[in-house]
Structure 1
Amino acid sequence: MSQIPLPRTTAQDSQISPQDVESFRGTCSSIQTELGKVIVGQTQVVEEILIAIFTRSHALLVGVPGLAKTLLISTLSQTLNLSFRRIQFTPDLMPSDITGTEIIYQDPVSGEKQFKFLPGPLFANIVLADEINRTPPKTQAAMLEAMQERSVTVGGVTRELPVPFFVLATQNPLEQEGTYPLPEAQLDRFLFLIHVGYPSEDEELQVMKRGTGMTPGKPEQILDGEGILRAQEIVKAMPVSDHVFRYARDLVRATRPKEEGAQDFCKRYLSFGAGPRASLGLIMAAKAHALIRGQLYVSCSNVAAVAPSVLRHRIAPNFSAQSEGIAADDIIGKVLSAIPRHDG
């Protein structure tokens, strides 16, 4: 099993060694190779999920049924040797169904009765929240606490969730009947909104061959929980120059229609723009994006590469945009074109 060494300095030092960077890059490459034994294509999706994990964040995957989203996440949990639970969200799902509940337990020896906590499926390292928008707001609120605080409160007692802990949620973009749209506060807790697209012609052919006869390979374990925590420390320690911070700031502020410096098309087509959590997300995601490529520094190009998935669920196209067929990604593309980069 490949192990990522501990960074030789703390995150506050903003210094990491070339050996740390190369180890991180090699480990991510090995994970992608192992996933490739089961999953065909989806290279960018896999990379963005890894970025979310190594930045201690959560990701929301949006795609039509049948694109192997569940298989990808379960295979990833095997590669990382983490516990995995899948929750199928339905309109009748209650908060206790995911957080756990207290039952009355009678001691067989003494006969004494007492409350005993039975943990729910949230008590796992990787939680697949399947069709998260199909459950009512009360249950979504329980998910929000788990995602933000990494703990749940049952019967007045707060219980910590396992470390590491990640929520990888899915949504079906086609069926909206009987759904409860996620509130902006919960959407903002996801680092990425990842679009899972259809496979290419060659990839679809490979999917057909594997699914109708070829025995898929078994992925090997690459990292464990301790290794992931080490990787997260390396990401924190990745240095970032001031001009990259300013570029990320300018991207986010350009999306706010009522802010000074907002782009004209944002003023015209957006109801509201991204908040400060988007600025933080851009920098952290850009750090991991650079490390996966073996870079010793973070550039504005790394920020631009992760910007669509960081911003698309944090901006709100207004009625004018919708009536003209202008989507969030179109607006983000215009922002990226309008804000100059200052890489050397």
Structure 2
Amino acid sequence: MPASQTSVVREELRQIEVCDQGVRNAELITALRFAGGLHNISGRVALEAEFHSPYILQRMRKALFEMYGVVTEAKQLPVNSTKPGQPMFLFRTSDGEAIARRLGLLDSRRQQVRGLPNRVATGSPDELAAAWRGAFMARGMLTAPGRSASLELTSPTNEAAMALVGAAGRLGIQAKSREIRGQVKVLIRDPEAIAEMLSKMGATKSAEFWNNQRQDREKRATANRLVNFDDANLRRSAQASAAACARVERALEILGDDVPEHLKVAGQLRLTHREASLDELGSKAEPPLTKDAIAGRIRRLLGMADKVAKQLGIPGTEAAIPRES
């Protein structure tokens, strides 16, 4: 799946209309927790949040205004101040202490909450899904189907990560928290669980697209394994045929005119029809022979030649087998 699929998922999520205030609140709080922070500016607490998309930023500003009456300032960050893939759009409210308390992001000691407010982490299934939706819009990423496929969130703290792991568990989806290159990640690795979480968050089209790509990839992988398996069988069959023919040629060379006629005929059949099976060789004999009969004659031909070669002190039939490169 292309890297831009993350943007496609975010775009689908930000268009979801939410009427329930508890669900809308869970999405907003989690998005702000994962995308922002509280800062002291000139003695006043400021609430800031950075997003990848101006439309997601606008969604959060709208929710803050409609639910809490908070007006925020927004701007696009200078291109030279951000790295590729990092958020580029920021909003801020300079009088953030009161709203941070109402959101549950600030405790009674004026300290930023390390995880998520309890009302979010223990909410209804719809609220838990909304929390994941908010976190994904803020700091989510979806990687391509394959061995390393994952739906992951970059968390500001271990506590926030564990809150989302718990939320996923209550939704019946297994997620894990890991520290990767100095960043705390919340990860869903199982392909079916990834599709299920996308659906629960509301990205149903993305879930279907991702699932179809995963299934197509698995079909191609299965087909490739079968092709490789067939190729390996063909190589082994060709190598066995070449070895058998080389030994028969050497046997006829060693025995010369002393080879019994019925064994000579069996050997010549093997050399004339190099790719044929033993059943096919037997059917070409005059009169026709069974598979076991033709195999037995070739065995006796090789055994007789090896015995003579040993008596003469010369290389036997196995010395004629081509060496693998």
TM-score category (smaller protein): under 0.3
Q: What's the TM-score, normalizing by structure 2? A: 0.24
Q: What's the TM-score, normalizing by structure 1? A: 0.23
Question: Greater relative contact order (Cα 8 A, min sep 6): structure 1 or 2?
Answer: 1
More helix per residue: 1 or 2?
2
